Structure 1
Amino acid sequence: MTVPALYRGLFDDAALFPPGDLPLPEAVPAHAVHRTAWYAEAVGPFLVGAGRLAELTAVLAGAPLRVALVLPDGAGQLAPALADAGALSVAGVELADPDVRAAVTALDGQLPAGVQAAVELPRGDGLPAALDVLAGTPYRAKFRTGGLAAGAFPTETELAGFLAGCAERALPYKCTAGLHHAVRHTDPATGFEHHGFLNVLLAAVAGPDEKLAAEALAERSGALLAAAAHDLTDDQVRQARERFTAFGTCSIVEPLEDLAALGLLTAPAPQEDR
């Protein structure tokens, strides 16, 4: 396989969302290129908000597209969004509701068979209780790892608490926002502290050990992180991806370039014309 197992299906295409905000007529053909490229195994579904479904359907004009619906406005969005999705191939639903029980109840009653779902959980003191509600359901937890303001980025301690809490409950999770690069860094333009997706993968290996997870999240050396990722056993890779299933990224190319620069991913050599 060209794409190592640690990165297969890891990058959900969030090109429509900030800070990328790619216009739909550009984002759809770009996704089609990703899905047929040598790195296609790394690419997850195309993320689309409920308010863009009519526009997306018009752009597609009957062409197939595997999508995940992003529903930030509560459980009441679920049924209308599924109806509006029509003939689209819905692979997943990402639902946010302050009442996690309401989200779970809506998904239990309305989610079509074979469609995966994630419930976005609140940050703060209510997180452990929200994790308890979601534990034992068929749904993943979703957690925000960034945004357009400094306060949208959790500290490594806060994120480690979420990762460890999920591991304690055997609850898989995905992340959204802020994971633009493989390695933890300070954005020179904004001053925001960004988590690295490679840091999160290695923190996932720590399981319920919150201290080890926080240490992995705090590491800023790409060389050290790359060496640790290279040395993971098959069982550790499996555990990491069973826990950390995916994250939304407005750029598919940037994370792949980071992995290549770290020596963790190699593009196939171009074939010569014969």
Structure 2
Amino acid sequence: MVSSVKALLSSVVDYAGLFPPAKLELQPAMANYAQYQTTAYNWMLGRFILPISRLQEFEQLLPDYPAQWLLSIIMTGDVQKAIAILKSLNNPKIAIASLEFPPLPATEIKNILPLIPPDVESFFEIPFNSDLQSYLPLLQHPRAAAKIRTGGVTVDAFPNFAQLYQIIFAFAQAQIPFKATAGLHHPLLSKHPVTSEPNSPIALMQGFLNVAVLAALIYQQKITPQIAVEILQETSPDNFHFTSDRLSWKNYQLNIAEIKSARTQFFRSFGSCSFQEPIDDLKTLKLLP
């Protein structure tokens, strides 16, 4: 395994098999996550994304699986009650790593932040059309982070290049970690059906390599907005190079320490309803054995 690939993609895929377009039932999604932990690519696997509304069902199925569960909980309903339920969990197989919130008014986020347990990170979804400046000070809270939606099951759910690089630049400038969700199944910018249904519409989907490399270069203050657009528009794997001590896109380089820093401090992960699809594509690009 090339060290720079591993540094860039360690724990990068939060498995969201319960969500569209896969939309699996809980049991097969859990079986997948448990099986992925046994593969040679388990180092890429991050959290299992679980709605709080299905936590009880999850606990009932848990004895069937020997795996350890790193959970990211999708929060809905009464936040105070939900956090009390999470605090009462007492199972050595479960670790609550993060909470994920839907788009909320800034005032509501301000009220939620004091309720968050000190060892849990919270991702607040920030729509691209929101008043970003009203959210940035709140997201600088030690337990807060941002979440951006990079796709969905409709063509208009995919952000354009300007929306994406502008929000990532804003997060970097404010030192706010972020994760992405939806639409990043493939390494490089490319066109794909948005669902598995016949006659599905086709969307231009951002690549997770494009986004991960872009985020690292922005975080390390190595590129301008004009270059950011070029990276997001990159479709050729020949312009990305990974070696034992660095990665590069064209003439822009990051060493291993810079990559790890950007992943730890800035770009946390992306949610995907498929874990296998990103792996298969990386194998095709010869970035994975």
Q: Which structure shows the bigger proportion of residues in strand conformation?
A: 2
Seq. identity, %? 31
Amino acid at match of 1:244: F
Structure 1 position 44, deviation (Å): 0.7
What is residue 225 of structure 1 aligned with on the other side? 240
Q: 1:190 aligns with which of 201, 208, 212?
A: 201
Structure with higher RCO (Cα < 8 A, 6+ apart): 2
Which of structure 1's runs of 4+ aligned residues deviate more than 4 A?
A: 226-229
What is residue 211 of structure 1 aligned with on the other side? 226
TM-score, structure 1 length as denominator? 0.86
Structure 1 position 261, deviation (Å): 1.8
Paired residues of 1:184 and 1:193 also in contact (CA < 8 A): yes
Paired residues of 2:120 and 2:143 also in contact (CA < 8 A): no
2:84 is aligned with 1:69: no
Cα deviation code 1:169-190 (max 9, x no counterpart)? 1111100010011011111552
Paired residues of 1:68 and 1:92 also in contact (CA < 8 A): yes
Paired residues of 2:179 and 2:269 also in contact (CA < 8 A): yes
Distance in 2 separating the partners of 1:104 and 1:33: 39
What is residue 141 of structure 1 aligned with on the other side? 146
Over 3 Å counting, the alpha-carbon distance change for 1:149 and 1:251 in structure 2 is same
Paired residues of 2:109 and 2:138 also in contact (CA < 8 A): no
Cα deviation code 1:174-210 (max 9, x no counterpart)? 0001001101111155221110000001211331633
SS of alignment partner, residue 43 of structure 2? helix
Structure 1 position 83, deviation (Å): 3.8
5+ residue gaps, structure 1: 267-274
Distance in 2 separating the partners of 1:84 and 1:136: 23
Paired residues of 2:216 and 2:267 also in contact (CA < 8 A): no
Task: State the superposition RMSD in angstroms.
Answer: 2.3
Structure 1 position 62, deviation (Å): 8.0
Distance in 2 separating the partners of 1:191 and 1:174: 24
Distance in 1 separating the partners of 2:181 and 2:137: 21
Instruction: Answer with 198-207 or 91-100: which moved more.
Output: 91-100
Over 3 Å counting, the alpha-carbon distance change for 1:137 and 1:65 in structure 2 is closer
Distance in 1 separating the partners of 2:142 and 2:118: 14
